[in-house]
Structure 1
């Protein structure tokens, strides 16, 4: 292990974080910090290492957590990730290091700080998800779609999307996180995340075009191979990985 203190930076996505954890393992380094690029500050006594997101490396860590620790551990670290908790990256990193040592028994080690942190945070996120499932109120908009706005403490909009894409699969709808200016848009076949600055109902004359405009934006975005707007994609695990997670219900 390199004796020099090192901090890792990544792009802020879940894939990026697991890529950083992969790099730490194979570089035989214990990072002092793991931080999103925009939050990183140059330190006098530390060396920064910027980790580029690598989907192959992400898959290896993702599958390793699911198979060598447990699917529940995978769900829990994702819940910690979307909690936006301080030092969430190091909490996840320390938890996984222990998990690869003890396997599925890790969650019995409740005296360990990292295990306790993951348990407490994931339970808080789960609790808020269940609470908002009963609080979300949709209103029918002129463009024949349903719209709901909310301001959760945690970044749970992707979890709500998973739920409502099953429960309201025959309707078009938008769930808007006003606090983070992000929204989930669903069109009966799938959903995506996008940035929305203002509540849709705040410009009534344009309501009819809102949904169509959002989908045009979506198809424009997916035509660009390397999207560089972090507001639209980072912080959320892509839908294709949800099949391996334990549903919140």
Structure 2
């Protein structure tokens, strides 16, 4: 196993960015951003800006340099980051990208550039504003991921598909895919991100990313047609609501604490937070226990 000193010797110092700064444009994917990082050091030109193609704002005298995504180059950069960052720090960069912060591309560049020029682990170098921001974004992403794993509510359709609609603050679908694939491996399901217009679909074998046209996309606000849902789905929702009503302890009600752990923005997708349109009624198919007598009263058929 190589020593720390030997690993440090394999680190190449970051090239000096001596050329005039440039504006970079890419396709908006994480692989595209990694390709841009490679191009920055290949051209030895620091970025004035790094923008997705759909949001490019050209300057008065200069047009942005469009960088085509190269998956082989992106993989090379991703693996090469381990020379300067541990796996957790590298993962935080991916989480920063998914956070959709307005300047996420420049933030990722500044973090990696600092790591390459420092030549040591910077994950706890909180004197630097970029390190603090990446750490804070990673914590926000972790909380959102945890909440999505806890608050997703599925509805069953007639063809046996379990579907759920979410609208998270950050793009967390790539982070929750493994959790739901493992937990619901015996059923087909679809989780659709209404804000970003794409979803995860599991077909009992693999989980894929799927996209919909605006007309075909699921619309939770408009409600799901009763002809699409399984005929038992309304009963399942009533049972779920009844469970929460029965475990509730009114004397210990604390709305402030409740909203802290379950923010209001999630409530519109939670069955237990919807108005009670149908009260739960237990099925009357059990014979009562007879005090002082047999455990169960005999039915007329049994008497005969």
**Shared fold (TM-score greater than 0.5)?**
yes
- Residues in 2 aligned to 1:45 and 1:162: alpha-carbon distance in whole angstroms: 47
What runs of 5+ residues in structure 1 fail to find an aligned partner?
A: 209-249
SS at structure 2 position matched to 1:107: coil
Residue 98 (structure 1) aligns with: 114
**1:188 has 2:207 as partner:** no
Aligned CA RMSD, in angstroms, stands at 1.9
**1:26 has 2:42 as partner:** yes
8 Å Cα contact 1:141/1:207 also seen in 2:
yes
Distance 1:4 1:159, change over 3 A: same
SS at structure 1 position matched to 2:126: coil
Structure 1: 4+ residue segments shifted above 3 A: 1-5, 200-208
**1:14 has 2:36 as partner:** no
SS at structure 2 position matched to 1:165: helix
Residue 53 (structure 1) aligns with: 69
Q: How many residues align?
A: 208
Higher relative contact order (CA 8 A, sep 6+): 1
8 Å Cα contact 1:5/1:47 also seen in 2:
no
**1:110 has 2:126 as partner:** yes
- Residues in 2 aligned to 1:92 and 1:60: alpha-carbon distance in whole angstroms: 17
Structure-2-length-normalised TM-score: 0.64
**1:142 has 2:158 as partner:** yes
Write the deviation string for residues 149-202 of structure 1: whole angstroms up to 9, x where unpaired. Answer: 111000111111121111112211000111222111011221111223332763
SS at structure 2 position matched to 1:44: coil
8 Å Cα contact 1:65/1:73 also seen in 2:
no
Q: In the TM superposition, what are the counterparts of 1:167-182 in structure 2 within 5 Å?
A: 167-182=183-198
SS at structure 2 position matched to 1:17: helix
Relative to total residues, which structure has the larger helix share, 1 or 2?
A: 1
Write the deviation string for residues 100-159 of structure 1: whole angstroms up to 9, x where unpaired. Answer: 233552111111111111111111011111111110111221111211111100011111
Instruction: Select the structure of larger CA radius of gyration.
Output: 2
Structure-1-length-normalised TM-score: 0.78
Q: Which has the higher mean CA deviation after the structures are superposed, 9-18 or 152-161? A: 152-161
